[in-house]
Structure 1
Amino acid sequence: MTIHKEGRKLLFVLLAVLFAINYMVSYFLPGLAIVQQLVLIASLVIYLLILQFFRSPSISIEIDDKVVLAPAEGKVVVIENTMEDEYFHAERKQISIFMSPLNVHVCRTPVGGLVKYFKYHAGKYLVAWHPKSSTENERTTMVVQNPAGVEVLVRQIAGAVARRIKWYHKENDQLTQGQEYGFIKFGSRLDVFLPLDAEIKVELEQKTKGGKTILAVLK
Structure 2
Amino acid sequence: PDAIVIEHPRYAGGHLGATRVDEIDDPRFDFARVLDETFTALKRLGMESERIPLIPAGGINTHEKVRALLSLGAAAVQIGTPFAVTEEGDAHPTYKRVLAEAAPEDIVTFMSVAGLPARAVRTPFVANYLRREQTLQAHAKVRRHCTLWWDCLVQCGLRDGSGRAGQFCIDMHLAAALKGDVKTGLFFRGAESLPFGSAIRPVRELLHYLLHGTPRPEGA
TM-score (norm 2): 0.26
Which structure's CA Rg is the greater one? Answer: 1
**Structure with the higher fraction of residues in helix conformation:** 2
**Structure with the higher fraction of residues in strand conformation:** 1
TM-score (norm 1): 0.26
